[in-house]
Amino acid sequence: MIWYHLFIPIIWINGVASSQVVQQAPAELVKPVNDEVKLMCTHKITHCNTILWYQRSKGETALKLIGYMYYKHSNVEPSFRHQFSLSGDGESTAYLHILSLKHPEHSADYFGAARALCSFAEAQFGAGTKLTVLETNLTVTPPTVKVLGASDKECLDRNNKKLPNKTLVCVASDFYPDHVNVFWQVDGEVVNNGVTTDRAARRTGGTYHITSRLRVPFKLWYSPHRNFTCTVSFFDGNNTVYRSSWISGAEAPQIQRERYLRISCNAKLSYTVLIAKSCIYGVFVILLVWKFQGSSERQNK
C-alpha cells in the first residue's frame, strides 16, 4: 500500500469541506496534561472502506495526516506512532486515541474523513474536534463581555456622505481556553446579517480576547427602545456557559431631531398643498363638465 500515499494530497489540499454524512464526536474537548483522549468518526457511505485522521495545529491551515483505518487494518504515520493509535473499522466507525497529553502540539483541531482507499474521489470530512490541553499554570476562566455603542463621529465617509449604518462592537476578554462562539440579538431575535467576528481569539499573556462587530441601519440605532445584545458561549471542559452584554439604541442628536421635525413639517405642508391643488383641479374639472353639458343642451334646442 505504499503507493497509496501518493493520493493523500488530493484529499486535504482542497481544504476541509465538512460533510453531513460523516459524523464526528465530541465537538470540543478541554483536558489536563497526562489525560487520555478518544475521538470517534463514523459514516454510512457505500463503498467507503477507509477512515483517515488529520491534525491541524493552532495557527496553521494545512492538515497533517496522522493515519488511517483501512477496513480493520490501522496505519499510523511514523512521526505520530509514539503519540497516537487507531482502532475500529474503516467501513463504519474508527477511533483516534491520543495516548498521553504531554505534547503542546496536541492542542489542535482533529478531523476524521471517509473515502474509498484507491479512489480519486474527494474525502468526506467530519465537522472536526477542537482539543485544548490545559496549561498547568493557568485556570479555566469564562469571558468578560462588553458591548460598545456606535460612535457619534461615525456619520460621514471620506466624501462627506452620510453612512447608512452604525457599528456596534462586542469585546470578550480575559478568558481561557479559547473555546468561544459569539452571536448577536436585536430585541431578543438572533441576527446574522451585518455581523463580522474575528476568525480566532487572540492571546495576550495567559488569556484570550475576541471581538465581533454588528452593523445596524442608521435609523435602527437611533431607536432608544431597541436592545442590542452580544452573547458569548464558553466551553469550560464540562459545560457550556453564557456571558452577555447589551446596550439600548441611542437618542437621535438634537440636530437630527430638528432636521426630522423640519422634514416632517415640510412633508405635511407639501401634502396639504397637494390636496389643495387636487381639490382645485377637481372643481375646475366639474365646472368644465357643467359648462360642456350646458353648451350641448343649448345646441340641441
The domain that holds 242 is classified in CATH as: 2.60.40.10
Note whether residue 28 is domain-resident: yes
**pLDDT, position 13:** 33
CA angle, corner 234, sides to 130 and 230, nearest 5?
Answer: 125
Note whether residue 66 is domain-resident: yes
Give the β-pairing of 129-133 and 108-115.
Answer: antiparallel
pTM for this prediction: 0.74
Strand-pair partners of 153: none
**pLDDT, position 212:** 98
**pLDDT, position 262:** 57
Radius of gyration of the chain (CA): 32
Distance separating alpha carbons of residues 174 and 36, to the nearest angstrom: 28
Strand-pair partners of 240: 235
Judgement on whether residues 149 and 49 belong to the same structural domain of the protein: no
CB 213 within 8 Å of CB 167: yes
> pLDDT tier at 47 (50, 70, 90 boundaries)?
confident
Is the bond into 26 cis (omega within 30 degrees of 0)? yes
Q: Would you call 136 exposed, middle or buried from its count of C-beta atoms within 10 A (0-12, 13-18, 19+)?
A: exposed
> pLDDT tier at 123 (50, 70, 90 boundaries)?
confident
> What is the per-residue pLDDT across 196-235, written as a single tens digit (0 to 9) for each?
999 999 999 999 999 999 999 888 888 889 999 999 999 9
> pLDDT tier at 125 (50, 70, 90 boundaries)?
very high
Is the bond into 177 cis (omega within 30 degrees of 0)? yes
Which residues form the domain of 266?
A: 254-301
Note whether residue 138 is domain-resident: no
Note whether residue 285 is domain-resident: yes
Q: Which of 32-46, 52-66, 152-166 has the lowest mean pLDDT?
A: 152-166
Distances (CA, A) of 11 to 24, 61, 111, 142: 18, 14, 12, 37
**Structural domain tally of the chain?**
3
Residue type, position 133, single letter? V
Q: What dihedral do alpha carbons 94, 100, 101, 102 form, nearest 10°? A: -140
